[in-house]
Chain A
């Protein structure tokens, strides 16, 4: 019903918007919006129903976009297939394309191509070591599966509660650098990389989108629903209560100093979680510096599952039986006691 009415109203609504736009004065110009795309895309409600019948919001929030990591990239820098306005339905953005930004250290056109190399070497590669395409390679995540743009979180050295730019931190840049616009951009560029853009719960939920999907877990023969079992540990529970000091998936599954895109399979001898390297994970300076390698024998992803962790299964089972075996008879007695009190004088065989 709802879908139908949206479908019917979209052309009329678009026409209305076009009329309104044509009457409005030219919008204020934006740093990256050379193509004047925001002329249309700045209006909330700008949307259409695509071929699959899915409602797509085409609105760009200027405030969010202008503080995002891509603020300085022109729209056409990523949407390379758009040549004229009004444009045809745009293709999906390929993050590996060269965008119209010059990388300052090499003065080459910028691209995320290097990340692809990391991914290809990681467990999330679509091809195996011999370059042969893996089974179910369509399940393997691409950039946007994890990078849901743009979650901008600033450094919090100078303030711990407020979000946004820290004036005190900016003032340190200003003592040497003069152009406000440059300082702002550089500050955002550096801080958004030093600070995590997602909190541990966001990370776990992001990985969980695939790793908690029972179908995918079975298809790829994984031993656990990873984010779920992580959620059963103290780390996962603290993450759920929005603790940011707690380790998430990336802290254990990536070797210190490596790109976050280089997650390796536990069978890989170079992997941080490989049997021979695992002992070092817990004992990092920021976590449990005094810990012996034995601490890493903790099974983070143990589940109440007979096949995966039989000993823990029976241990938990014992407590379930103990709980049921204690409480059910006692609650039965309470129930009978309440009934008895309803009919205090009723008795089958009265004793003198």
Chain B
């Protein structure tokens, strides 16, 4: 914990700890595997496209590209398994065991722990979506006060989560078609192919449009968000997207007097001006 303070100050700017090294490594493996899978999979989905043979040839054509695709698929499935174990282990060690020692366990309490995990969608997310729509339609100048993980991030987490189950299962069936059809009839492979390729297109478009827009291309972060490398998010983005959580963290750190006002608008110039007197005051 001392190695990774919740709030780090570099050159007078505050940075907020968001992702552990373990999580960041998981994410890097995830995106390398996904990008490889998309590049080796899409030429097969769009076989008649003009670019398909060239892109496929880059991965060794019909003889090698399917092997590359399977290797990346196995890596992704291993990562998925690791992640689920990691998730259960951490919740068990850090929440269930202390709860057990403190007040004993029953099914309802365990369910409550699971339901209140920071990435589980809740009523606030629905409210935030409503508030965001109001903001985007110029009905208000106030952005929703995001919690530790906003609804966008929960979407980014659960969409690939469901995607990996669907694409992973259907991929395994098609790969091991002979074994699979010892149990299920052959037309299950038809459904596997549809699910695998259509869900993959959805996932690829989702990640490369929606996810990349939010974390890299939006004018607040362009040209690139760095939190996935450093694990730390700048105060400016904390205030913009996670205001509720920001206030909570600042209070816990005993920095109530340094809390910035919420961003109403997107303009960046007033922000820096707003920060300047505070930095002076701090010094």
Chain B, interface SS category: helix
Residues of A within 8 A of B140 (CB): 347, 349, 351
Closest to A333 in B: B136
A241 and B47 within 8 A (CB) = yes
Complex Cα spacing A291 to B186, Å: 10
Other-chain residue from B185, B194, B206, B219 in contact with A341 (beta carbon distance below 8 A): B219
Per-residue B-contact encoding for A310-343, CB less than 8 Å = 1, 0 else: 0010011001101100110011011011011101
Mask, B232-269, CB within 8 Å of A = 1, is 00000000000000000000000000000000011100
Contact A298 B186 (CB under 8 A): yes
Is B67 in the interface zone, CB < 8 Å from A?
no
Within the complex, the shortest CB–CB distance from B110 to chain A, in Å, comes to: 31
Contact B205 A340 (CB under 8 A): no
Contact status A334-B136, CB under 8 Å: no
Evaluate contact between A240 and B181: CB separation under 8 angstroms.
no
Interface majority SS (helix, strand, loop, mixed), chain A: helix
A117 within 8 A of B: no
Q: Is A344 an interface residue (CB 8 A)?
A: yes
| Bound: A322/B62 CA distance, A | 30
B residues apposed to A, CB below 8 Å: 43-44, 47-48, 53, 56, 61-63, 132, 135-142, 159, 174, 177-178, 181-182, 184-187, 189-191, 193-195, 198-199, 201-202, 205-206, 209-210, 213, 218-219, 265-267
Q: Within the assembled complex, what's the spacing in Å between the Cα atoms of A299 and B188?
A: 9
Would B48 and A240 count as touching, CB distance under 8 A? yes
Q: Which residues of A lie under 8 Å from residue B202 when comparing CB positions?
A: 319, 322-323, 326-327
Q: Could you tell me if B62 and A294 are in contact, using CB atoms closer than 8 angstroms?
A: no
Residue numbers in A under 8 Å from B135 (CB-CB): 340
Asked if A154 lies at the interface with its beta carbon under 8 angstroms from chain B, I say no
- Residues in B with CB closer than 8 Å to A106 are none
| Contact, CB under 8 Å: A295 / B218 | no
Residues of A within 8 A of B181 (CB): 291-292, 294-295, 297-298
**Bound-complex Cα distance A33 to B202 (A):** 62
Residue of A whose beta carbon sits closest to that of B220: A341
Question: Which residue from chain A places its CB closest to the CB of B191 in the assembled complex?
Answer: A315
A223 to chain B, nearest CB (A): 15
